[in-house]
């Protein structure tokens, strides 16, 4: 998360994704304008970074010029576009390509296209790195489109919030809500289930246990459940995409949730990336990975004790117990590292009375 002026922004589009989009646009431009000498008109300020990337990739003769238009104040469009730097070139019979960082309502593009028409340029093309198709109100065709984004305020890669953020090489979106999303971890026997239940009540969170979600979808033969079952029946792992779609459906069922406790997911870095994407699409993010820490010997004793009454065969055999604990540490090590890099990993001492442990967890959650 980053802060610009008074607002918080969370990661949204990676540099890699942006580069892929720019490569694609540039490839098409190189093809379409191979035997021409186009004039690129870059719309300042936001388009400077996109412009430089496109121009670097353009392999034929070309010219570049700039106009400066402005319509945004803070995070809102004013619907009035001002021309701050005009166009000096003769463009009447040029092959013009407008380079925009982002097309939102399309007001800017409309004003600019009128300016071009007034100057006798009738056939120009428009290339934009980002496009908010949901809010675009104009008929003007966008010829080269990088990435279509939902109606969110973004910064980075040339785009700013009141002057700041243009230098970011990734795109961030305005953090739109204050959800608390926890990824809860704990080795078998750490009391994860118990604590999840308490935290869910205390913070009014929705507990999403991947195991439960799977069982629910399979039992009710939902499309995704049936799909998942087809893999399970063949003894194959359910692809991440299917799992994430199920989680997405769970998240969508609770549009007003104050947050979620994810339990049993993610297990891999890829899954953690998918979860980040899923939450980003809701304008949110993982707040913390919280892991209950309990020594192996204590876990073994607890589980053996539980095995005496639970009837679970995997709780009765010490060798199986130790192996389950080992598997847990192998799996979580990767994620611990992943979330530690984002300063989101919190280990919490899981030994003591239930309410003592809840208090430790609460201290962590309250500090987020
Ligand atoms: P439009 O006139 O509504 O299409 O808006 C176009 C201009 O508004 C862009 O060139 C940007 O300068 C600015 N703009 C639109 N959306 C955003 C955003 O999400 N972040 C930053 N600037 C934006
Ligand atoms: Mg602009």
- Tell me the backbone φ, ψ of residue 258, rounded to 5 degrees: -80, -10
Please, which residues bridge with residue 207 across strands? 261
Q: CB count, 10 Å around CB of 195?
A: 22
Q: Are 59 and 30 in contact (CB under 8 A)?
A: yes
Closest by CA to 261, choosing from 186, 189, 326, 363, is 186
Tokens of 153: 């305020």
Tokens of 294: 């309990």
The terminus-to-terminus CA distance of the chain in angstroms comes to 12
336 is catalytic: no
For residue 202, CA distances in Å to 103, 198, 286, 355, 359 come to 43, 6, 19, 12, 11
The bound ligand whose nearest atom lies closest to the alpha carbon of 142 is 1
pLDDT digits (tens, 9 = 90+) for 168-196: 999 999 986 678 999 999 998 899 999 99
Q: Is the CB of 154 under 6 A from ligand 1?
A: yes
Spatial separation of the C-alpha atoms in residues 240 and 271, rounded to whole Å = 7
Q: Are 158 and 170 in contact (CB under 8 A)?
A: no
Distance 211 CA to ligand 2 centre (A): 46
Residue nearest to atom 13 of ligand 1 (CA): 72
pLDDT in tens, the chain (368 residues): 899 998 989 899 999 999 999 999 999 999 999 999 999 999 999 999 999 999 999 999 999 999 998 766 667 766 677 776 778 889 998 999 999 999 999 999 998 999 999 899 988 999 999 999 999 989 999 999 999 999 899 999 999 999 999 999 999 999 866 789 999 999 988 999 999 999 999 999 999 999 899 999 999 999 999 999 999 899 888 899 999 999 999 999 998 899 999 998 998 999 999 999 999 888 889 999 999 999 999 999 999 988 888 777 777 789 999 999 998 998 888 899 999 999 999 999 999 999 999 999 999 998 88
* Residue from 132, 192, 344, 360 carrying the catalytic annotation: 192
Distance 100 CA to ligand 1 centre (A): 9
312 is catalytic: yes
Question: So what's the pLDDT on residue 79?
Answer: 65
Closest by CA to 157, choosing from 88, 109, 100, 226, is 100
pTM of the model: 0.66
Closest by CA to 283, choosing from 367, 178, 208, is 178
Is residue 121 classed as helix, strand or coil in its secondary structure? coil
pLDDT digits (tens, 9 = 90+) for 90-129: 999 899 999 999 999 999 999 899 999 989 998 899 999 9
Residue nearest to atom 22 of ligand 1 (CA): 159
Residue 119 burial by CB count (10 A; 0-12/13-18/19+): exposed, middle or buried?
A: middle
Closest by CA to 188, choosing from 289, 320, 89, 344, is 320
* Residue from 229, 306, 322, 336 carrying the catalytic annotation: 306
Element (DSSP H or E) covering residue 3: strand 2-4
Cis peptide before 45 (omega within 30 of 0): yes
* Residue from 267, 277, 282, 322 carrying the catalytic annotation: 267
- Tell me the backbone φ, ψ of residue 77, rounded to 5 degrees: -80, 145
Q: Is the CB of 108 under 6 A from ligand 1?
A: yes
Q: Is the CB of 72 under 6 A from ligand 1?
A: yes
Closest by CA to 144, choosing from 128, 159, 156, 168, is 128
Q: Are 342 and 183 in contact (CB under 8 A)?
A: no
Distance 23 CA to ligand 1 centre (A): 22
Distance 135 CA to ligand 1 centre (A): 11
Spatial separation of the C-alpha atoms in residues 300 and 242, rounded to whole Å = 34
322 is catalytic: no
Q: Are 176 and 9 in contact (CB under 8 A)?
A: no
E strands of 89-222, at which residues?
96-103, 124-131, 144-148, 154-155, 171-174, 180-185, 206-209
360 is catalytic: no
């Amino acid at each position: 998360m980053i802060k610009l002026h008074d607002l918080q922004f969370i990661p949204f589009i990676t540099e890699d994704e942006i580069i892929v989009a720019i490569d694609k646009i540039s490839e098409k431009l190189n093809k379409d304008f191979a035997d021409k000498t186009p004039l690129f008109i870059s719309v300042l300020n936001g388009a400077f970074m996109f412009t430089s990337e496109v121009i670097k990739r353009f392999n034929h003769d070309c010219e570049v010029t700039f106009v400066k238009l402005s319509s945004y104040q803070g995070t809102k469009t004013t619907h009035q576009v001002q021309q701050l730097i005009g166009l000096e070139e003769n463009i009447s019979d040029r092959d013009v390509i407008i380079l925009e960082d982002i097309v939102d309502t399309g007001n800017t593009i409309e004003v600019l296209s009128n300016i071009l028409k007034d100057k006798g340029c009738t056939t120009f093309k428009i290339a934009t790195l980002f496009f908010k198709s949901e809010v675009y109100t104009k008929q003007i065709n966008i010829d080269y489109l990088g990435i279509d984004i939902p109606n969110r305020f973004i910064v980075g890669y040339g785009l700013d919030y009141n002057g700041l953020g243009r230098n970011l090489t990734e795109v961030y979106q305005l953090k739109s809500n204050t959800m608390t999303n926890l990824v809860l971890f704990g080795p078998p026997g750490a009391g994860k289930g118990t604590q999840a239940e308490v935290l869910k009540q205390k913070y009014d969170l929705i507990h999403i246990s991947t195991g439960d979600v799977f069982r629910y979808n399979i039992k009710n033969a939902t499309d995704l459940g049936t799909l998942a079952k087809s893999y399970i029946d063949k003894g194959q792992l359910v692809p991440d995409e299917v799992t994430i779609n199920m989680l997405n459906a769970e998240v969508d069922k609770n549009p007003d949730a104050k947050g979620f406790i994810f339990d049993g997911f993610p297990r891999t870095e890829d899954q953690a990336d998918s979860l980040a994407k899923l939450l980003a699409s809701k304008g949110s993010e993982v707040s913390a990975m919280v892991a209950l820490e309990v020594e192996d010997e204590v876990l073994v004793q607890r589980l053996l004790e539980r095995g005496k009454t639970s009837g679970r065969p995997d709780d009765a055999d010490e060798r199986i117990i130790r192996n389950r604990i080992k598997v847990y540490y192998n799996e979580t090590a990767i994620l611990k590292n992943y979330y530690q890099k984002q300063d989101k990993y919190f280990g919490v001492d899981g030994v003591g009375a239930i309410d003592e442990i809840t208090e430790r967890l609460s201290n962590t959650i309250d500090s987020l």
